Every structure is written in structure tokens, then in C-alpha cells.
Chain A
Amino acid sequence: MKVRIIGVLVLSAAAVALTAEQQPGSPPSARKERVNQSGTPGVLRPLRRTPPTTFTTDTDGITLPDDGTAIDPNTGARYRRGELLVQFHEGASASARVQALQAGRASRVPRTLVKDWELVALDPRADLAQAMETFRGLESVRDVSLNYLVTAQQFRPNDENYSLQWNFPLINLPSAWQINRGGSDDVVVAVIDSGLNTVNDTLVFVGPLVGQVPAVFSTVPDLVTAGRIVSPFDFVYDDDIPVDLDGHGTHVAGTIAQLTNNNVGVAGVAFNVKLMPLKALSSDWDSILAPGNPGGSMAVVAEAIRYAADNNAKIINLSLGGEGSAPVVREAIQYAVGKGAFVAIAAGNAGDDGNPTEYPAAYGGEINGAMTVGAVNRALQRAEYSGFHSYVEICAPGGELTSIFDYNNGVTQVGYDVDEVLDFVPPIVKLAAVRAGFRPRFDRFELRPMQGTSMATPHISGVAALLYSQGIRSPLAIEEAIKKFARPLGLRADECGAGLVDARRALRGLGLSR
């Protein structure tokens, strides 16, 4: 791969010249064609930079120690062998209790229980069912039961790399999952972004810069499954295959709805909801393969918002923005809210670069039912890039990387394998690479730590989806609930709005006095 990249770099000069050949103002000819509809599923490569420790040794003759438990065949519950919980009648005398223990061949375990209950120990090999019958037959004994085991009830997903997701405990998500485990599948979340692969296919892009370029796509592992995708649409290529040529939309969708508790990858906030991927953003690869495409324009974004609302999306994620005002997008957001959709909007990533007013972020503060989301880092400080304006209404973890693969400080989700899509090289190098025969692969994935208000925003969309699933089915109410139960961080209101979203408190709602 390195050899290939070096070769591409060498060709970059030539690429500049070739690029200059493009006639300005030539009509866009973005199109793609499906050529292999029986492609293979995507591959999620192991985590980078922090490879799991491999350790092999001879285990012959070694067994794990007996944990002293057994499974009750009647209930399937695990209990401690050789122990029973016995309740004596209130008036049972001490001597009667001693006699009972003798009859049951048990001894008292000194534990301070309640209401005449005692923990008693028997021979670990004793037949507890028979012992229970013996105890039940005694006049001094009121009740007897097995000493069942319990485990911590907080839901902790078993996804292989869940431990990287510091961002979820930060918003109290594991506790929230106790109340609502991943939302319901009748809630549709629209992700208006760079797309999301919904097919296993090879698509041929035809454009003036590079001619015909086949590219391999596959559904995103751990995210796109049968029946999960609703009304997908590509507003850049005007078809219903909203493939992601960037990885941004994939990452955002993952934070919202990555499949969870399946031993694979990482988790998502609302992992049961349905996704409506709507491609409205153009990436470097889109610009190379289909130059002049309409992606990223406010018109396309507005169209996508309207489409989402018309197709029954109840949550719309807008991890996008720009410095030009767009009344049409504002109207579209109002339209969507009017149709019952909650809209989450990224505050913008130029907080450390002049902090300009960004749109549609600025509209979030004006529209009830739409929220503008700022980003905090792992230390719960405003991420330096996060725009700070009066329209920032809430904040969520957006990460703040110290290096490209800084899993400890980025928001980790599935993205493309950076080597396969030349993620960190300039567009012109990508173009030169294609002309030199490089073919990007959009079927190779890896876990990617990212940062940005784009990463913070899907946390809010996910929580909104949980709230919707729980019964708060009004955009205004969702916004107010998220704000009301936010955790104040001591940051300025223009940095973090009402505070850091607290999923558990929002889902638990209100009682009469608290």
C-alpha cells in the first residue's frame, strides 16, 4: 500500500495539469451504475494502534476453579451450592432454631438479615431440594429458599471495543439503556450527510475527470442489516443508493444506531431504530468521480430535509453547516418540525478559527423542536473547534483528538479503512492516484476516532430517538426534555447551552415533586 501511495504522490504534478484540462462550467455528469449486485459484505478490520494482546500457552490439564454455583433447573437462575436461606417463625425460640439447623444438617452463617431470615450452610454436595423439604417440614421454619445469585443490572454492551466509547458513559447512556434499551424499531432517524452504504455492489462512476471508475461498496458492518434502512436516497446522484464516499455519514449514523451487544465493533445510542440515509454532502471522492455534483448545496440539504419529513422520519440529524445563510433550509427545518420531526444541528467547527456564524446551526436556536449542538471533549471542556454562539443549545461529546488514531479522545465509530480510500491525502493526490490506476474501496472498514460537532450531534439525535421511543413524540417536548435534564458543566451558555445532555435523566422524566 505504501508503495502505491508513493507512486500516487509522484504523479501528483501530472495530475495538476490534467485537472486544468477540465472546462469550467461544464454541466455536471454525475452518475453511477450498479454492475455487480452480488457483492460481498464489508470487512471491519481490527482496531488500529491498539492491537489486542495475543497470548497463547498450553492449557492442557488446567481447569478454572469451581465458582461454587449451580443452575436451578426450574428457573434457570444460578445459586450458591451448599447454602439456603431459612426464615423462622417470629416466635421460634433459640433452641427451636438450633434444633432445626441440626435437623437440616446445616450451620448458621453469621449474616445480619431481616425478619428472622438466616443464611445457613450445608455440605456443598448436599441435595438442596431435599434439605429444603426437610426445613419446610419443621414447625419452627416459615420459609426456605435457594441463595440465588444476582449480577449488576446496568447494561454494558458486549461489543468488542465498547471500552473505547468513553463518550457514552459521559452522557449517562448505560443507565439510560436500563430505562430504554436502544429505542424502538418504529422510530426512523434520517441522517442527512455524505451517505451510508446500503448495498454490496460495484458501482461505476462516469465523470469527465477520470472517465469510468468502478468502485466496490458494501453494506457497513455492524450497522446496515436487512430491514434496517428506510427510504434511502441520494440527492447528489439522484438515485436511491446513497453510498458514502467519505465515511463521515457512516460514522455519524454509527453513533446514532450502531448495532449493539453483538460482540462486534462498538455500540450506538439508539441501536434499535431504523435509519434513513440521505446523501446530501459531496466528498473529495464525489468531486473527483463526479465533478460539479450538487452535493453540499443548501438546496440539496433543504430538499433532503423535506424528503425526510415527508417520509416519516421523526429525528433528523444535520451534522453539517456552512457560513452562508440559507432561509430555504430554515424553512425546511420548520417544515420538518411542523411534521413532527426533531432536528439536531451541528454548531460548527470553526470555534478556533474566527468563530463565524454558521448555518443552519444559527436556525436551531430560533426553532422550537430543532437544537444546535456544541461539542465537549473528554475533560468536559468545550472542544476548541466547537463554535460558541448564543444559538448553541446543548452540548455532547465531540472528542478532541491529539493524533489521528487517538481512540482515547475521539468519538469512535466505524469508518473506512484509511488506506483504502486515501483518507489523509489531498484531493489532487486522490485524482492523480485514480489516473494512475488506484481504485478506492468502500468495502473496507475500521474503527475511526473522529472529532467535531458532527460527532456530537448524533448523540443528541440518538437520545432524541430514545425519548421518542419512550413516548415523547413532539419535537418541542424532546428539545425541552433534553434541555431540562442537561447536566450543567459550568461552561458559558454560548459554549454549551443548557449543559451536557443526560440521557438517563431525560428518559426518566418527571414525578410529582421531582
Chain B
Amino acid sequence: MRAPHLRHLVMAVVVGVVGVAGTTAAYGQTPAAPPPSPEPIGPRLGVQGLGFVGLDFPRAEQSVEALGLDKRQLEAGGGVRVTNLWRALFVDVHASRWSTSGERAFVDSTGEAFPLGIPLDIDATHVDVSVGWRFYPRNRRTIRTAVPYVAGGAGVVRYREESPFAEPGDDVRTSSTTYHVALGFDYPLNRWLAIATDARYRFAPDIVGDDGVSSVFEEDDLGGFQLSVGVRFGFGGAAPATPPPPAAPDEPARRPDFINPAPPPVDAQIGTVTTDAPIYLLPDRTRVPLRVLESGTSVRVLDQIEGWYRVEFRDPQFGTRTGYVEIKFVRR
């Protein structure tokens, strides 16, 4: 890798680390929280699809300007992510494409560009393969809590450049290896759908720079920042270890104290589920749990009975409910 690339890689990594640090600070008040254990109630393997639109900011800015190309390329793309391969580790494939038009030009040694009025069409298709880590927040009060991630990897870009009046060998169709670092977060809307944001910096060192306007400006990297927002859908992540029960005849919603819940005891306190934990109607772990509380879920502790807390929690299906959860799963 040439020196400028190394410099930019270091810069991008620093940016990424700082960004992740900031994100972690925002979503987790205690640093270095241990990830949830995968079994028996930890995150399960998941598969997510992704569709997005974004903006690509190619690094070859002077070349782009000289050729009358847009400095920001609108793009569309999609991808697939396999989550929780090991703890919060994920792998994803991310594809995007942008295309733009300008006009050919000549650039003299002073850098002055002379547009020639000959159309120039360019498109680039990126496919990135990343390995990354998701940071599940610890103090997650609701499913609607952003999950940040960082990732890095390699990929390939297919590049096409065409103009009229070409003779054999004039137009360009090539592909090359790329490298990238990325960070972003998913904001779940429900269990199956999330808004996905992503910022990545890509290095595409072998496409431009040897000829063309890019060689005049000594711009040898077609990569750059890519910002995107989209929708992630599918299953996975912190999925329940056991299915939620069917509407039970002893559904608390039918109980008078749920319909008109009594105010909690004065000494009631907020607790946080430290790892995904089953919650039962009665303090009996042989029963089918009402629900599995995800790590980071906040509960209101109402009472304590021999290794169990009676807690009030928010059931996404039935609203506020009470149940029993083992003390070892709750930090107060």
C-alpha cells in the first residue's frame, strides 16, 4: 500500500475508534461491559437483510470537479448481515452502486481544466465484505435502543468509464480490490425491522491515478466516505431463547391490580437485567416463562422472595406486567 493510503487508513481507523468510543459512551454508562453470554439465553445467530440509499464522496475531488462530475454521488444498495457469529461478532456483505455523468476535459500543468464538451459516463459498483462487532447497550430500557457497530474488511469495485468517439482500448471496464472501515448503528423499530445508518471510508487504490485527469492531479484513490441510511430487516441479534407464551388465562391484564395498578411501594427501585433473563408468573423456573427480558432491560423491583425479585416490566405485547425474575439476573 502506498504511503498516502497508509496515512488515510490510519486516519480513518482513528476516526472510527473515536466514533465508537463516543457511541459507547452515549449508550453504555459502564465501560467494557461483558457481552451477553450466548447460551442458554444469549443472542442467537441471525440473518438480516439491508436496503439503503446513500451518498458517496469520492476522494478524487479535483478530478471530479475538473470533469464536471457531482462531488456527491447518490447511490443505492443492499446487503446481508449474519449476526452473533460469536458473541456480538457479525459478518456482512454490502453492495452499492453510483453512476454519474460529466464531460471529458484537458487539464494543463497548472491545474486549469478545459472542458471539451464530450460526454463522460462513469459508474462504480462496490461490494464490501466486513467483519464487525455490535455493541449491545447495557441500559436498554426498550427495544428502541440504538445498537452501534464497527466493522472493517475488503471488497471489490467494478468500474466503468465510457465516452463517445472511443476507439478500442479507450473506454475503461475494470475491477479492483478495495478496503474499508465502517461504523454505524441500527435503530430497531420492532423485532424485525430497524433503521440502519452506516458511515464507511473506502480505499480503492488501483482504479485511478495512472492516466486521465486523476494522474494530472495525482489522485490515485477512487475511494472516499460513504454515508447511508436504510432499513434492516430479518431475524437475529438478541432473539428470545424461548418463545413467548400464548395469552395465558392467568394473564395479569385481567387482574384488577393491572387494570388499576397500585402505586409501587415506596422502596421500589429500578433494576437492570444484566443478561437475557426469563421472567415467570411465579417464582418457579420449571414453568414456561412469560417472556425473556433482554439484557439491559429496566425493571421496577417490587418485592424480593428467596432468590427472586418480583418486578414490574413492560411487555411489548401486553404492556405493563409483573413477574418473577431470579435475583442473579438483575443489578440494582
Query: Contact residues of A with B, CB < 8 Å?
Result: 175, 178-179, 470-474, 476-477, 480-481, 504, 507-514
Contact status A175-B167, CB under 8 Å: yes
Is B108 a contact partner of A476 (Cβ separation < 8 A)?
yes
Inter-chain contact B159/A510, CB cutoff 8 Å: no
Chain B residues numbered 101-152 whose CB sits less than 8 Å from any CB in chain A: 104-110, 112, 114-118, 120, 122
CB contact between A470 and one of B112, B117, B208 (< 8 Å): that residue? B117
Q: In whole angstroms, how far apart are the Cα atoms of A178 and B63 in the complex? A: 26
Contact A474 B114 (CB under 8 A): yes
- Alpha-carbon separation in the docked complex, A470 to B63 (Å): 19
Interface pair A470/B116, CB less than 8 Å apart: yes
Are B211 and A513 touching (Cβ within 8 A)? yes
Kindly list 13 other residue pairs between chains A and B, CB separation below 8 angstroms, not including A508-B165, A508-B166, A510-B211. Answer: A179-B118, A179-B165, A470-B116, A470-B117, A477-B114, A504-B165, A504-B167, A507-B116, A510-B212, A510-B216, A512-B120, A513-B211, A513-B212
8 Å CB contact of A511 from B114, B120, B209: B120
| 10 examples of A-B residue contacts, CB within 8 angstroms | A472-B106, A480-B109, A481-B108, A508-B165, A509-B116, A510-B104, A510-B106, A511-B120, A511-B212, A514-B211
Instruction: Report the separation of the CA atoms of residues A475 and B167 in the bound assembly, to the nearest whole angstrom.
Output: 27
B214 within 8 A of A: yes
Q: Which 3 A-B pairs have the closest CB atoms?
A: A477-B108, A509-B106, A509-B104
A509 proximity list for chain B (CB < 8 A): 104-106, 114, 116, 118
Contact partners of A473 in chain B: CB under 8 A? 114
A472 touches B116 (CB 8 A): yes
**B170 to A513, Cβ gap below 8 A?**
no
A477 and B112 form a contact (CB under 8 A):
yes
A511 cross-chain contacts in B, Cβ below 8 A: 67, 104, 120, 122, 161, 163, 172, 212-213
Which of A470, A476, A513 is B159 in contact with, Cβ under 8 Å? A513
Cβ B105 vs Cβ A510 within 8 A: yes
- Cα A473 to Cα B122 in complex, Å, equals 26
| Residue among B60, B117, B159 with most chain A CB within 10 A | B117
Bound complex: CA of A353 vs CA of B192, how far in Å? Answer: 88
Pick the residue among B63, B109, B114 that contacts A471 (CB under 8 A).
B114
B210 in the interface, Cβ–Cβ < 8 Å?
Answer: yes
The CA of A474 and the CA of B111, in the complex, are separated in Å by 12
List chain A residues, Cβ under 8 A from B63: 512
A298 to B148, CA, bound (A): 77
B:268-289 near A, CB below 8 Å: none
Q: Are B208 and A513 in contact (CB under 8 A)?
A: yes
Q: Does B207 contact A (CB under 8 A)?
A: yes
Separation of A133 and B122 alpha carbons in the complex (Å): 40
User: Which chain A residues border B301 with CB–CB below 8 Å?
Assistant: none
Q: Which residues of B contact A504 (CB under 8 A)?
A: 165, 167
CA distance A510 to B207 in the complex (A): 15
Complex interface: chain A residues within 8 A of B210 (CB): 513
Task: Give, as a whole number of angstroms, the nearest-CB distance from B18 to chain A.
Answer: 32
Q: How many residues of B contact A (CB 8 A)?
A: 39
C-alpha gap A508/B171 in the complex (Å):
12
Q: Contacts A508-B163, A511-B161, A513-B212 hold; do A472 and B114 have CB atoms under 8 A apart?
A: yes
Q: Is B69 an interface residue, CB under 8 A from the partner?
A: yes
Chain B nearest CB from A379 CB (Å) reads: 23
In the complex formed, the residue of B with least CB distance to A476 is: B108
Proximity bits, B150-182, A CB within 8 Å = 1, else 0:
000000000101010111001110000000000
For residue A467, give the distance in angstroms from its CB to the closest CB of chain B. Answer: 8
Q: Which residues of chain B have C-beta atoms less than 8 A from A510's C-beta?
A: 104-107, 211-213, 216
User: Using Cβ atoms and an 8 Å threshold, which residues of chain B touch A513?
Assistant: 159, 161, 172, 207-212, 214, 222
Alpha-carbon distance between A507 and B60 when the two chains are bound, in angstroms = 23
A509 to B60, CA, bound (A): 18
B165 touches A175 (CB 8 A): yes
CA distance A471 to B108 in the complex (A): 13
**B211 contacts which chain A residues (CB < 8 A)?**
510, 513-514
Which residues of A are found within 8 Å of B105, using beta-carbon distances? 509-510
CB distance from A198 to the nearest CB of B (A): 33
Contacts of A471 in B (CB 8 A): 114-117
Chain B residues, Cβ within 8 Å of A178: 165
Proximity string of chain B (82-111) to chain A, C-beta cutoff 8 Å, 1 when within and 0 when not: 000000000000000000000011111110
Which chain B residues border A179 with CB–CB below 8 Å? Answer: 118, 165
Q: Are A514 and B212 in contact (CB under 8 A)?
A: yes
Please, which residues of chain A bring their CB within 8 A of the CB of B118? 179, 508-509
Bound complex: CA of A504 vs CA of B64, how far in Å? 23
CB distance from A180 to the nearest CB of B (A): 9
Expressed in whole angstroms, the Cα–Cα distance for A507 and B117 within the complex equals 10
Contacts of A477 in B (CB 8 A): 106, 108, 112, 114
Q: In the complex the two chains form, what is the Cα distance from A509 to B115 in whole Å?
A: 9
Assembly CA distance A322 to B159 (angstroms):
53
User: A508 touches which one: B116, B122, B172 (CB < 8 A)?
Assistant: B116
- Pair A512/B109 contact, Cβ less than 8 Å: no
Residue among A507, A508, A512 with the most chain B CB within 10 A? Answer: A512
Decide: A476 and B117 in contact? CB cutoff 8 A.
no
Q: Which A residues are in CB contact (< 8 Å) with B115?
A: 471
Q: How far is the CA of A178 from the CA of B120 in the complex (A)?
A: 16
Residues of A within 8 A of B214 (CB): 512-513
CA A512 to CA B121, docked complex, whole Å = 10
A476 touches B207 (CB 8 A): no
| Closest partner residue, chain B, to A178 (CB atom) | B165
Which residues of chain B have C-beta atoms less than 8 A from A175's C-beta? 165, 167
Tell whether, in the assembled complex, residue A512 and residue B122 are in contact, meaning their CB atoms are under 8 Å apart.
Answer: yes
Q: What's the nearest-Cβ distance from chain A to residue B56, in Å?
A: 14
CA of A477 to CA of B109 in the docked complex: distance in angstroms? 8
B25 CB, nearest partner CB in chain A, Å: 41
How far is it, in angstroms, between the C-alpha of A400 and the C-alpha of B67 when the chains are bound? 41
Quick one: which of A175, A471, A472 has the most chain B CB within 10 A? Answer: A471
Whole-angstrom distance between the Cβ of A337 and the nearest chain B Cβ: 13
Chain A residues with Cβ below 8 Å from B166 are 508
CA distance A178 to B167 in the complex (A): 12
Nearest Cβ in chain A — how far from B115, in angstroms? 6
Closest CB in chain A relative to B169 CB, distance in Å = 9
- Taking CB atoms, residues of chain A closer than 8 Å to B208 are 512-513
Judging by beta carbons under 8 Å apart, are B122 and A474 in contact? no
- Residue-by-residue, is B187-210 near A (CB-CB < 8 Å gives 1, otherwise 0)? 000000000000000000001111
Q: How far is the CB of A182 from chain B (nearest CB, A)?
A: 15
Check A512/B165 contact, CB under 8 A, given A472-B114, A481-B106. no
Output the nearest chain B residue to A467 by Cβ-Cβ distance: B106
Cα distance, A312 to B214, chains bound together (Å): 33
Q: How distant is the Cα of A477 from the Cα of B115 in the complex, in angstroms? A: 12
A512 with B69: CB separation less than 8 A:
yes
B209 neighbours in A (Cβ, 8 Å): 513
Q: Beta-carbon contacts of B285-296 to A below 8 Å, as 1s and 0s? A: 000000000000
Tell me the B48-84 residues at the A interface (CB within 8 Å).
60, 63-64, 67, 69
Instruction: Output the least CB separation between B116 and chain A (Å).
Output: 4
